[in-house]
Structure 1
Amino acid sequence: MSCQADYYVSLNSPWTHLGGARLMGVAKRYGASVRIYPIDTGEVFPASGGLPLHKRSPQRQAYRLQDLARWRDVLGIPINLKPKHFPANEATAAHCVLVVRETIGDPRAIDLAHRILKALWEEEADTGDRETLVRLISEIGLDGTSILERAGEPRWAALRSKETQAAIDRGVFGVPTYAVGETIFWGQDRLDFLERQMAVDR
């Protein structure tokens, strides 16, 4: 039986964007399934001692930009280090991902999450804007208008809140986090370790 990786993301995270394609490549190589959770880091950070970006020290903020530039260049992913619409209001986008996950399945939900991240970090799109979300959903071949309408149902906010708390309880403290069983891998720079775990579990 193939293993399952639980994939905890923020739709504002450049690190999630930088690791997205590589994660799916690893999963494909080992026949693993991936379950996506678009959690609320506004809840995760204070529960785990973390700070949102704007509250971090100048030294940490400066280092983050240096590290993003390094990974951008190594991976050949043309991200904007300071995108125009960052941080976007990600709640509606997260609810759309949940709608797709629960009604269509994880693969298309992951496609949507990755499309949203690409739009924010490479295309200067406002991914908190409803018209933009309709366009992005439509671009991956789904009904953007219908999914956005369904995303307004209160149950998706409740589900996201529940899954965020479950992530905190599991030990998740940042994004992206990949979890296989009891083992947690934090950050796109830990994908090599995730691959080793999948090789053992397959």
Structure 2
Amino acid sequence: MNRVCEYYFAPQSPWAYLGHQRFVDLAKKHAIRIDLKPIDLGKVFPISGGLPLAKRAPQRQAYRLVEMQRWSTHLELPMNLQPTFFPVAADSAAHLIIAAQLAHGTETALQLTGAIMRGVWAEQKNIADTDTLAGIALDCDLDGKALIKSSETSSVSAEYERFTNEAIANNVFGVPWFVFNGESYWGQDRLDFLERVFQE
């Protein structure tokens, strides 16, 4: 059995934030290797029928907030439902995560990913700002300025584009999205199903 789980996500997603640490913990518990793949939702949505938040119907926007509050309370995760810096461009954050993975490995990149997500949803940080991102990296015991520089290279951009194109080819239409043994699971509310197959 292939003990690798592909993890497609966008750093600015509230649902990825709500599920990130739970997924990381599940993978560690069951000795599953995570294949970390940040993607550009701005390219995925138009192809898959998704809409950015501002273009969704009012009733959908309202219910989204209700569900976010429910999950935040249920998981006991701090969450600003309407953070100061959202919507936010997340390309720089995704690039930083990829640079961290290339330089320091997946475990470090996962830690940085969690810190960036908390920055948006719990700490009112602007993850589109490179100085802010460098500070988040520094808090993870990384050289933030050096990592920012690495994140701006063409090789990192190519990886980001590759992950996004791969997501489109694999019919990903939302995040977080998990692929294990060829089967897809969409959403942090599908982690129970994912754990069941991890145990098989």
Band the TM-score falls in, shorter-chain normalisation: over 0.9
Offset from partner CA, 1:134-155 (integer Å, 9 cap, x none)? 1100111111110001111122
- The ranges of structure 1 where at least 4 consecutive aligned residues each deviate by more than 4 angstroms after the TM superposition are none
Residue 128 of structure 1 corresponds to which residue in structure 2? 128
- Please tell me the residue identity of whatever aligns with 1:196: R
Offset from partner CA, 1:25-51 (integer Å, 9 cap, x none)? 111111111111110000111111111
CA distance in 2, matches of 1:37, 1:87: 21
Contact 1:18–1:77 under 8 Å retained in 2: yes
Aligned length: 200
Offset from partner CA, 1:1-42 (integer Å, 9 cap, x none)? 661111111111011010011101111111111111110000
Contact 2:85–2:125 under 8 Å retained in 1: yes
- Provide the aligned C-alpha RMSD in A: 1.1
Residue 81 of structure 1 corresponds to which residue in structure 2? 81
Residue 14 of structure 2 corresponds to which residue in structure 1? 14
Query: Are positions 1:103 and 2:103 aligned together?
Result: yes
Structure 2 segments unaligned to the other structure (5+ residues): none
CA distance in 1, matches of 2:26, 2:183: 16
Residue 91 of structure 1 corresponds to which residue in structure 2? 91
TM-score normalised per structure 1: 0.96
CA distance in 2, matches of 1:147, 1:28: 26
Offset from partner CA, 1:52-76 (integer Å, 9 cap, x none)? 1111100110110010011011111
Structure 1 segments unaligned to the other structure (5+ residues): none
* SS in structure 1 at match of 2:61: helix
Displacement of 1:93 = 1.0
Offset from partner CA, 1:85-137 (integer Å, 9 cap, x none)? 01222111111111111222111111111100001100001111111111100
Displacement of 1:163 = 1.3
CA distance in 2, matches of 1:171, 1:197: 21
* SS in structure 2 at match of 1:77: coil
What percentage of aligned pairs have identical amino acids?
Answer: 39
Displacement of 1:181 = 2.4
CA distance in 1, matches of 2:163, 2:76: 33
